[in-house]
Structure 1
Amino acid sequence: MRRRIHAFSAVLALLFVAVFWISTVVSELFLSAAAVAQVKLAIAYALLGFVPVMMLTGASGFALGGKGRHPLLLAKRRRMSFIVANGLFVLAPAAVFLSIRAQAGSFDSVFYSVQALELAAGAANLGLIGLNIRDGIRLGRRRI
């Protein structure tokens, strides 16, 4: 059961980040400023669901991995540290900041600088979460 919970929460976390990233890019490139503001507001509110999903993913992963020393497990732990730090110190604050700025109609160089940082950090987390899912599947096959 723990494996299923971990797998489900990891895929859900990946989907959250992917939807955030894609909706940001699509709204910025093809939609109005009002639509961008709505997307930013939706992302800020979606953090209320995303953060618990990430916590569940991490907690269930640590419960499954225990004190294991398998190289894939160690790689997942290293990546998870970066994913968490990136989420807590870059992505979540940027999402709230961008939402506030977008609601105020402040689409200036500061907004777009933070937007670029958020997109880069989001792309990094997408890749790292994807690698963790790949390695989790490999570990599951080995039944560690």
Structure 2
Amino acid sequence: MILIHCLAAIIASLCVATFFCTTVLVELFGSTMAIEAAKSLIVWPGLFVLVPSIVVAGSSGFVLAKTKGNRGGLIQNKKKRMPFIALNGLLVLVPCALLLDSWASNGGLGTRFYIVQLIELIAGAINLLLLGKNMRDGFRLTNRFRN
């Protein structure tokens, strides 16, 4: 179960990091066609990799938490972060990705596109930070790091 949880968490984190970095790079250095392609790829296959990996990581994490006890509050910290990560993803990141893909594919790279893009980047950065903290605490739970 630990291996499944770890792999799912790594896949989810890599997806969010890839989406974030791709968005920043394509906005800074890419053409309109590159922006359209990036937004399309984030939706498909991106979201169809990300969403299941978050579900598997979250559900396997809850199963593992029952077997680990409190462990100095590390599990409680992870449990507190997960609802925010999930809600941020479902209520902000997924709708932003769908909107941005739709607008980009229809040539709508105007002001509203960039406002929503900024919201998506901020929400993505927050989720990356929280996923990173969960990963750090997970490593501590399995004695991968001593701090």
TM-score (norm 2): 0.93
CA positional deviation for 1:63: 0.6
Aligned residue among 102, 105, 114 for 1:103: 105
CA positional deviation for 1:18: 0.5
Give the corresponding residue for 1:31.
30
Aligned-partner residue type, residue 92 of structure 2: V
Work out the CA distance in 1 between the residues paired with 2:106 and 2:63.
43
CA positional deviation for 1:64: 0.1
Give the corresponding residue for 1:118.
120
Work out the CA distance in 1 between the residues paired with 2:59 and 2:142.
17
Aligned-partner residue type, residue 88 of structure 1: L
Work out the CA distance in 2 between the residues paired with 1:74 and 1:39.
36
The higher-RCO structure (CA 8 Å, 6+ apart) is: 1
Aligned-partner residue type, residue 133 of structure 1: M
Work out the CA distance in 1 between the residues paired with 2:108 and 2:41.
17
CA-atom RMSD, angstroms?
Answer: 1.2
Work out the CA distance in 1 between the residues paired with 2:87 and 2:75.
19
Q: Deviations over 1:71-93 (max 9, x none)?
A: 11010011111100000000000
Aligned-partner residue type, residue 106 of structure 1: G
Gaps of 5+ in 1: none
Work out the CA distance in 1 between the residues paired with 2:134 and 2:13.
10
Give the corresponding residue for 2:63.
63
Q: Deviations over 1:23-66 (max 9, x none)?
A: 00010000101110000000011101111011000011001002
Q: Percent identity?
A: 44
Give the corresponding residue for 1:92.
94
Give the corresponding residue for 2:85.
83
CA positional deviation for 1:140: 1.2
CA positional deviation for 1:69: 3.5
TM-score (norm 1): 0.94
Matched, 1:15 2:14: yes
Aligned residues: 141
